Amino acid sequence: MAAAVRTRGARGSRGARRPLMAVAGALIALVFVLPYLIMLIGSFKSRSGILRVPPTYLPDEWLPSNYVDMWSTPETPLPYNLVSTIVISVCATLLVLVVAAPAAYYTARHRFPGRLVFLLLVLVTQMLQPTVLATGLFRQFVTLGINDTWLAMILVNSAFNLSFAVWIMHSFFAAIPRELDEAAALDGASRLQILRRVTLPLVWPGVVTAIIFTFVACWNEFAASLVILTTAENQPLSVALTKFVGQYESAWQYVFGVSIVGIVPVVVLFALIEKRLVAGLTAGAVK
């Protein structure tokens, strides 16, 4: 976890190469943002402009109005899709937090028979994805009568992101020395005070990482939504987006507008936890 930040000063000949490396770095950065740059520029083009043959790199006329018009198109009820994405992601994230936190805390602080079996189960679940179980999930939700509902997708998203949240929070709880609690208790702090003043501030980075990671995964989920959510109003942005791409005519400017709206928030969230991005996914295997 504690990725030591090493500051390696430029020594000798290394210093001379640094401007060159900066240029190479800029090129790499450009490659990684290029598709999103195309998206951003395309989202301001007119319908005829984006289908022009041969294409132009920049719009002849910048149309910010695309970002207004895309909410009312015949292809998909976009306001519903956004609400659907938000409701599913927020509910699933909250559910994950409520369910995972006690398990993470208890397995970090207590030893009991079956503890390692439990952690192993969590680990195996972490490596399963809704894609491989989509057929079973679809069958089950049809049988239960909750297919094509938000509830079904909230359950799927929370179940498949639960393990990551348990792992990351487990490792943060485990890193707190037990003596810290005991010392606080000797000073006369109540259990609740210990939790609020001692434990929570220390595990807070882990909790935030778990929240952001779960939220982003739910926000981008595609495969299970594609099979389980069949009503246009219930579908999330990731599925709705594909409706703009037709066999003969595609409203690319709206595809890109929706994409920008869908991508910017999650990139910001990921950037906030950049240092801890690897920690939970690799479940303590990289130290």
Partner 1 sequence: MTTTATRPAARSTDRPRGGRSRWAATVRALPWLGPTLLLMAGVVFFPAGYMAWTSFRDLSQFGVDNGPAGLDNYARLLEFTALPRVLLNTVVWVVGVVVVTVLLSLGLAQFLDKAFPGRRFVRLTIIVPWAASVVMTTTVVYYGLDPFYGIINAFLVDVGLLDQPYGFTRNAVPAFFTAMGIAVFVSLPFTTYTLLAGLQTIPDDVREAAQMDGAGPWATYRRIILPLLRPALAVATIINIINVFNSLPILQVITGSIPGYNADTTTTLIFKFIRADRQIDTASALSIVNFLIVLAVILVYLKVVKPMRED
* Binders of partner 1 in range 151-190 (CB under 8 A): 155-156, 158-160, 162-163, 166, 178
Say how far apart CA 153 and CA 151 lie, in whole Å: 5
Nearest CA to 156 among 216, 235, 96?
A: 96
**What minimum distance in Å lies between the beta carbon of 65 and partner 1?**
20
| CA 138 to chain centroid | 23
Instruction: From 11-19, 62-70, 73-81, 187-195, give the range in contact with partner 1 by CB under 8 A.
Output: 11-19
Candidate residues 146, 185, 226, 232; the one interacting with partner 1 per rule CB under 8 A: 226
Token pair for 270 = 């990921």
Beta-carbon count within 10 A of 41 CB: 15
Residue range at the interface with partner 1 (CB under 8 A); choices 6-14, 63-71, 189-197, 203-211:
6-14
- φ/ψ of 83, rounded to 5, equals -60, -45
User: What does the DSSP 8-state code read for residue 233?
Assistant: G
Which among 32, 122, 80, 114 is positioned nearest to 231, based on CA atoms? 80
Of 2-10, 59-67, 76-84, 192-200, which segment contacts partner 1 by CB under 8 A?
A: 2-10
Cβ-based neighbour number of residue 89 at 10 Å? 23
* Strand (E) or helix (H) holding 52: none
Rounded least distance, CB 181 to partner 1, Å = 12
Instruction: Name residue, tokens 């109003």.
Output: 233
Quote the tokens at residue 71. Answer: 């909410």
Applying CB under 8 A, among 71, 82, 129, 185 the residue interacting with partner 1 is 129
Q: Find all residues with CB under 8 Å of 149, minimum gap 6, and list them.
A: 141, 234
- Member of 172, 237, 243, 257 binding partner 1 (CB under 8 A): 237
Minimum distance of partner 1 from residue 167's CB (angstroms): 9
Which CB sits closer to partner 1, 54 or 64? 54
Residues 254-283 that bind partner 1 (CB under 8 A): 255-256, 258-259, 262-263, 266-267, 269-271, 274, 277-279, 281-283
Rule CB under 8 A: choose which of 134, 146, 176, 202 binds partner 1: 134
Give residues 60-79 in contact with partner 1 (rule: CB under 8 A).
Answer: none
The reply to whether 38 sits near partner 1 by the rule CB under 8 A is: yes
What is the closest distance, in whole angstroms, from the C-beta atom of residue 234 to partner 1 in the complex?
Answer: 16
